[in-house]
Structures are given as structure tokens and as C-alpha cells.
Amino acid sequence: MVFSSLIFLFVFLVLNLTIYLFIDNKYKNQVLLIFSLIFYAWGGPKYLILLAGETFASWFFALMIEQSRDKWQRKMFMLGECLVLLGLLGYFKYAVFFAENFHALFGVPKEIPNIVLPIGISFYTFQLLSYVVDVYRREIKAQPKYWKLLLYSSLFHQCIAGPIVRYETVADEIDNRKVTQTDIYLGIRRFSIGLAKKSILANSCAEIADALILPGSEALAAQSTLGLWLGVFAYMLQIYLDFSAYSDMAIGMGRMVGFHYLENFNYPYIAKSVQDFWRRWHISLSTFFRDYVYIPLGGSRCSTAKYVRNMAVVWFLTGMWHGASWNYIFWGIYYLAFLLLERFVIKDRIPGPLKHIYALIAIFFGWVIFKFENIGELGSVLIGLFGIGTSGFVGMDVTTIFLSNLFLLIFCVIACTPLGKTVRHILIRYGTQNPVSFTVFNITELIVPPVLLILSVLALIGNSYNPFLYFQF
């Protein structure tokens, strides 16, 4: 079940909110927990045991760490947490990858295991790890009730594809939260924006990308140079609109029931450097690696050699986190190279107007590496973007796709910028002084959510392509 499915919108979410808003306050957490477990079990009931088991291990180790006064015991319990959670993540996510590579090099094992990746395991594993580490650092108190920690790890708003929510962000709200009419309105507004971003914009960009650069397709093998550029550009728009839409909907649904999740995106395509891009993209993941890997290793307050080592570890892990394939490792190394170049070579040498262009070009080619797991296809696309080995410069099919979707692409580009937010702030500012602006603002605020919801539902009806890209990570 995905947020942009009709069964989720008209059955699951409606039923959840109806029961939640009208039930007595002392049962609200139980309602959320039941619905969250149902939501997760929808994609694979047997993996609900894995989620519950990892949560139990984290609950147990956190309590033992908090109760232990001996430093050595605390470290052993922390080590136990890491072994259990990272061991399970390694088995489900990377066992096949390592088996395939060992088989290619040494001929063993003879049979590659068939292991299905549980949905959301990367996200809830990192959340539970951050919780136990924070207890170990004495930054938070351990949650004494197992079912409340399970609520934290399984909240259906964010357990499958983020954002990665730190326990300290919601610790107080698990027991003490109030929902106002403003919360409900802002939550619905944020959810409707995310739903429209996904169902109307991201899905449309996906159709363009799949028509031109679908891995393993005949269209990719016979694509023209401009076809590759247009396909990658559409994918670049798709992956941002798709993933940020999920975060928008998660934040919106959390707000409806009193949870205030932190932002996960801040218009990354307006970045003026690769470093700036990663301050804006998937903020919760970047923050996790900063706080739990980079800074403990020494951060930037160390020698140049150690700084490079720290960065290399972080970006290798960032690549591996996204998938068990060599292209994700290359993707991490690619960004590592740019970040080191920006720190030691480029610095402030790029003129102001060109900074944004430089960043977009770096990001563009980064998404090429990210998309193609097949190394042969990756190499073909990379050289094909420079006119080598393609079927020509441009084909009639590419021209037709481009002209047919020109206004859609323009609107998607605008959606990747803060233009809408800027216009809204202008209306708010002038609304305090001008009755006309105040009226326009109120009318807009009133009609935008229902209009977006209606358009989104119409877009979803009969649409066969509707997954979230980041479910695979």
C-alpha cells in the first residue's frame, strides 16, 4: 500500500483519521499503533515480525544501557545493538550482492540465495540505531514501554520511506500532543501538495523517463543523444518530486495527529554547490551520517588525511545504504570526489552566476550513475550523452515526446523551486495591509487543498505506474 493509492486515500487514511479524531485521548496511541502495524503488514506480513523483533532488541538494549553503571557493560550492550540491527540489515540487503561477487571471483557459493528485501528496513533500522545511540550518549531517556517504542519505529507516516525521525524529535509528542484546527488544516494542505506532486508531476516524469531510458529496454539501446539527455532530465525531476512528495505526505499526516517531523528537503536543485545540494537533499539521512559516523570519526577538526578518511567512510556508506549494487558505491565515490574538490581545489573560484550551473551539471551526471545498476548500460549512457554510440543526435520520437510534454516539464521545474512558497509569503505580507491581497490569500488557502486532491485522484484513476522510487532503498 502506498500513500498515492486509492485504497489508502479512501479507506485506510479516512478510517484512521475518523477513529483517531473521535476516540478518547488515552487510546489514540493504540489506534495509531494498530493502523501502523496493519499498514506495514500489507506489504508482507512475515516481515512485521522482523520490525517487531528489531524494536524489541533496541528496547531491551536501551534499557540495559540506561540501567548499567559500568562503562564496559554499556559498551557491550551498545555493541549488541549494532550487531543485531546491522547484522540483519546486512543479511537482507547485502547478502545477495556479496554472494554474487564472490561467485564471480571464486565460483562460490554455487547457488545465489534468493533473499527478498523487507520494505523500509533501511529507514527503521537507522531510526532504532539512532535511538539506542542517543540513550548510550545520555542525550535521551530510554522508553520503558515496548509498545510505545514500537509505535515510534512503525508509525506508518514514515517507517517505509522516511524521513528518518530521531526519537528525541517525537519523544514528548508520543505522550503529550495536542491537535488544533490549524494543525489539521496545515497537515491536509501539506499532504495534498505532496499527493499532487507525486500523482500528477512525478508519475508523468516517470512515463517520459521510462519511454526514453528504461534500463534493459530496446528504447534505451537505440536511443539518440538528445533522447538520453531528455530521459535523464525527466528522471532527475522524477526522483526529487517522487521522494519529496512522500516526505510532504508523511509530514502532513504526522501534523494531522500532532507529530511535528523535521523537513527532509529544502529545494535541492537551487543549490550552488555539491555541498549545498547535500545540505538540502534527504536531510534526515545526511544528518544521521553526520551525527553518528562523521563527527564520531573526528569530523573536519583533524588532519587533512583523517578528514579525507572520514569523508570516504561516510560516502562509501551513503552509497551502500542506497543499494547493494556497484553503481551506488560509484555514486557515493562520485560525490566524495566533488566534495573534496570543492574543499581543496575549487573553493570559491567559480564565478557567482556559474555556481548554480556547475552544481546542476554535477547533480545531473550523479543521477545517471544512480539510475543504472547494469555497469554496461551505465557506461553506454554516459558516453551516449556526448554523442558516442547513439542512433543519432535526435529522433522523431524524442521530438514528439518533448513537444507533447513541454509545459509539463516547465511546471515540474517550477515545482522544484520555492516560487510557490515565495508567492504565498508575499500574499501574507501584503494581506496585512491590503484587503484585496488578504481576500486573494484566504480564497487561495481555502481552495488549493481540495482542488489538488481532486486533480490527484483523477490522475490516479487508471494509472498503472504508481510506485515510490525510494521503497527499494
Beta strands (DSSP E) in 145-258 are none
For 254, how many CA atoms within 13 A lie in the half-sphere containing its CB? 26
Other C-beta atoms lying within 10 Å of the C-beta of residue 458: 12
Q: Rounded CA gap, 274 and 318, in Å? A: 15
**CB within 8 Å of 343: residues ≥ 6 apart:** none
- Residues classed as catalytic: 322
Phi-psi region of 438 (alpha: psi -120 to 50; beta: other; left: phi over 0): alpha
**Cα 294 versus chain centre, distance:** 20
Question: Is the N-terminal amide bond of 144 cis, ω within 30° of 0?
Answer: no
Q: Rounded CA gap, 110 and 251, in Å? A: 46
Phi-psi region of 171 (alpha: psi -120 to 50; beta: other; left: phi over 0): alpha
Q: Rounded CA gap, 205 and 208, in Å? A: 5
Q: Rounded CA gap, 246 and 267, in Å? A: 15
* Grid coordinates belonging to 50: 522482523
Q: Note the residue count of the chain.
A: 473
Question: Is the N-terminal amide bond of 45 cis, ω within 30° of 0?
Answer: no
Q: Rounded CA gap, 273 and 340, in Å? A: 12
